[in-house]
Structure 1
Amino acid sequence: MIKIGILTIVKVNNYGAELQAFALQYKLNNLGYNAELIDYLFYKNKYYKFSNKSLPIFKISLKNKLKEKLLPLLEIVRSYKYRKNKKIREQKFDKFHIKFSKFSSLTYFSYDDLYSENFDYDCFVVGSDQVWNPYNYVSIEPYFLTFAPLDKPKISYASSFGVSSIPTNYHSEYRKLLNVLDAISVREARGVELIKEMSGRNSVHVVDPTLLLGVEDWRTVAELPSYEHPYLLLYVLTESSYITKLAKLIAKNLNFSIIRICKNASSEDTDSSIVNIIDAGPSEFVGYFMKASFVLTNSFHGTTFSTLFEKPFFTILPKNKPNNSRQQGFLFSIGLEDRLIEEGSSFPHPECYALDFTEPSVRLQELRVISEEYLFHVLGSPE
């Protein structure tokens, strides 16, 4: 049986990151491979150890440096009164890892730890998530599998740049790193174009790992909420009065309550008409989406789970943002581009709330087949 080591972003208490990591190792094992997540901590994990070798390989602007330094501090201050909920949330993430995810026996706390290891995998896979984002505040070189033995296959599955454009002065470095890989697939159609522009290489457009799993697969990890009254689920990464007003309007028109899954274990919202969930783990996150009657989100994975569970939804796009290719590309690929709303535009009419998933589900299944065929092609027979 082929033994596969997967390198991705995980253990950062982020719903999308944790669930895509789980989904890829789950799917590979279901296909007959022996796959596990390489327990290499991402720099946002509080136990990650920086070194000279782990510094970003691309220049980080002063604005982004301040963002990386100040936002975690701001979150600590904001979440102080919610510290008990934060602890509960962290425990739920840990419980999810132990119960559902398969990790390497060793944890790699630093770049140096990873590169000093003598791995015995037959094949290495990187992805998914924004592993190739040039603005990550750490070296992204490991996410091109440069630590793996030269004679072992190195594969990308649904890796993402997280942005729609890469500065031209970064292209030569990306070209060098991309050429380490034996086969490349990416999560966005724009990623295919970027790879061609930077390296001249062809790549395959595949679905995010969360979309490789069906409803019954997700039901095995979901914890459904006890709410019986129909609710609109609100999951946003950046708060705005526009989204809140739209949520209230839709909920009023449909006689739904509103439940918000908070991005972090804190909330500054004191609106009594909205139930804020600040201590959900990955299983609860899946459960809230599974039981929702409507979803409003500006998150990529909020969009994918709405689609997976065939929930009427709208995805809100912020104005003048260059990285919207994630949501736009996915929804265009399955024919649901009309569910995109640019922030600040007129609210959709109630007659637009309903959603027929007949054609989108067919398109999604076609994309799943392409993605599975790619995996079998590049990994070979599981036996």
Structure 2
Amino acid sequence: MKKTGIITILNVNNYGAELQAFALHHKLKHMGYDNEIINYLYYKNPLYKSEVDSRPLIKTSIKNKLKDFALKWIDKYSAFRYPEIAKKRKLRFFDFHKEHTSLSKVYKSYSELYEAKLDYENYVVGSDQVWNPNNGTNLAPYFLTFAPKEANKVAFASSFGVGEINESYYSKYKEWINNLVHIGTRETSGVELIKNITGRSVAHVVDPTLLLTKKDWEGLMVPYKHENPYILLFIFKKNSYAEELAYKIQEKTGFKIIRVCKNEMPLESDDKILNIRDFGPLEFLGLYSGASVVLTTSFHGSVFSLIFEKPFYTITPASKNNNSRQESLMRVVGLENRLLREGDNVDLDKLTDVDFDYVKEKLGEQIDFSIDYLKQSLK
């Protein structure tokens, strides 16, 4: 059997991105598919080479350019100020993929990918926000337009990351989507978008991280050694509402707060909070496994809360309406009350009121459907 090639977001120093990429690769391997990840660098990777053909469909706004610039500056400043932390984190991410993930040669640019003579039987575009119109790069590779015309082209859990797209971009999206033979998307909003754009009915499948069981993830993780219960605070940037909620839970329970983060100046740890910046994917899993409560602003933070069966709240910005990823997931498992908007009041007497037996039942149905979709779609 020829290999299956997977393209997705990878090598961006992000827990969710790296773990979802690994999960699909790992699951397909155990299903009997010889596969590897096509190591096409995401445009945010510092080694990526931008070209004329890799320009995004939507011109990047000044605001987003400034945001990307600021985050890069913060990362560089942090690496300069805390070189040992930055070095250890980077090495842990590198070692994770070196040991656990099969990767192709590196393609550093759009032209390198399209000029490559690839010979996979199945081409799969994986999960994460690969179809987000606001990504600052040409999305064509994530619709497998680099693959030979006759190849079997499959989308699994690919996400738009938004609930709607300006209709002026429908024609280009229709062209891209119709290049795919089989389509499974991660959110119900994605199913509806594709129906509106192309008229095609497509599958609603789970994020790849859910294809692996709690036992699977525990077999990989590096356990976090701790003596006392803790609240895990997993957020991407400073969030006063999340921090205040963590302190309220701490006051009620006496638990310590552990904050795992990246793109922010480190706060000094004190007797109430411990900040961790140097953990890799496997150490991150260990933190989740050991937590008593989780507060997160991350989609994959929500997913791993479900996998490890942790009482949690997912916090979304009050000013934005692009929470389709979290909303879709919470509807599937009946936990809409665990999705908070900044400013919401929370009844902490119901902190641990999560029926994980029901969650496992509903997720189990979706997972079984998703595995069947893969079996039917791949040669």
Q: TM-score normalised to the size of structure 2?
A: 0.97
For 2:66 and 2:240, the matched residues in 1 are separated by 25
In structure 1, stretches of 5+ residues that fail to align are none
Match of residue 38 from structure 1: 38
For 1:192 and 1:91, the matched residues in 2 are separated by 38
- 1:60-79 to 2 correspondence within 5 Å? 60-79=60-79
What is the letter of the counterpart of residue 204 of structure 1?
A
The structural deviation recorded for 1:265 is 7.3
> CA contact under 8 A between 1:129 and 1:159: conserved in structure 2?
yes
> CA contact under 8 A between 1:100 and 1:221: conserved in structure 2?
no
> CA contact under 8 A between 1:260 and 1:277: conserved in structure 2?
yes
The structural deviation recorded for 1:96 is 0.2
Q: Deviations over 1:227-286 (max 9, x none)?
A: 121111110123222111111111221221111101337413555410001100000111
The structural deviation recorded for 1:339 is 1.1
For 1:352 and 1:288, the matched residues in 2 are separated by 19
For 1:144 and 1:271, the matched residues in 2 are separated by 47
For 2:40 and 2:372, the matched residues in 1 are separated by 28
For 2:268 and 2:374, the matched residues in 1 are separated by 44
> CA contact under 8 A between 1:266 and 1:278: conserved in structure 2?
no
Match of residue 128 from structure 1: 127
Match of residue 111 from structure 1: 110
The structural deviation recorded for 1:31 is 0.7
The structural deviation recorded for 1:2 is 4.6
* SS of match in other structure, 1:157: strand
Q: Deviations over 1:287-316 (max 9, x none)?
A: 100111111111100000000010111111
> CA contact under 8 A between 1:86 and 1:265: conserved in structure 2?
no
> CA contact under 8 A between 2:238 and 2:264: conserved in structure 1?
no
What is the letter of the counterpart of residue 91 of structure 1?
L
For 1:42 and 1:342, the matched residues in 2 are separated by 30
For 1:71 and 1:366, the matched residues in 2 are separated by 39
Match of residue 259 from structure 2: 260
Match of residue 56 from structure 1: 56
For 2:2 and 2:117, the matched residues in 1 are separated by 17
Q: Deviations over 1:189-231 (max 9, x none)?
A: 1000111111111111100000110011112220111112111
- 1:85-104 to 2 correspondence within 5 Å? 85-104=85-104
- 1:188-207 to 2 correspondence within 5 Å? 188-207=187-206
**After the TM superposition, which of the residue ranges 266-275 and 43-52 deviates more from structure 2?**
266-275
What is the letter of the counterpart of residue 76 of structure 1?
K
Match of residue 23 from structure 1: 23
For 1:243 and 1:42, the matched residues in 2 are separated by 29
Q: Deviations over 1:355-381 (max 9, x none)?
A: 22111110000000010010011114x
In structure 2, stretches of 5+ residues that fail to align are none
What is the letter of the counterpart of residue 282 of structure 1?
P
Q: Given the superposition, is the C-alpha separation of residues 264 and 69 from structure 1 closer, same or farther in structure 2, using an over 3 Å criterion?
A: closer
Q: Given the superposition, is the C-alpha separation of residues 269 and 198 from structure 1 closer, same or farther in structure 2, using an over 3 Å criterion?
A: farther
The structural deviation recorded for 1:68 is 2.5
Match of residue 210 from structure 1: 209
Match of residue 370 from structure 1: 369
What is the letter of the counterpart of residue 171 of structure 1?
Y
What is the letter of the counterpart of residue 55 of structure 1?
R
**CA-atom RMSD in angstroms:** 1.4
For 1:228 and 1:74, the matched residues in 2 are separated by 33
- 1:336-375 to 2 correspondence within 5 Å? 336-375=335-374
> CA contact under 8 A between 1:250 and 1:350: conserved in structure 2?
no
Q: Deviations over 1:317-349 (max 9, x none)?
A: 210312211111101111111111221011323
For 1:241 and 1:132, the matched residues in 2 are separated by 30
> CA contact under 8 A between 2:74 and 2:265: conserved in structure 1?
no
Match of residue 280 from structure 1: 279
For 1:195 and 1:271, the matched residues in 2 are separated by 49
For 2:193 and 2:213, the matched residues in 1 are separated by 30
* SS of match in other structure, 1:321: coil
For 1:66 and 1:266, the matched residues in 2 are separated by 17
> CA contact under 8 A between 2:6 and 2:36: conserved in structure 1?
yes
User: Alignment identity in percent?
Assistant: 47
Match of residue 313 from structure 2: 314
What is the letter of the counterpart of residue 289 of structure 2?
M
What is the letter of the counterpart of residue 209 of structure 1?
P
* SS of match in other structure, 1:302: helix
> CA contact under 8 A between 2:20 and 2:127: conserved in structure 1?
yes
* SS of match in other structure, 2:220: coil
Number of residue pairs matched? 379
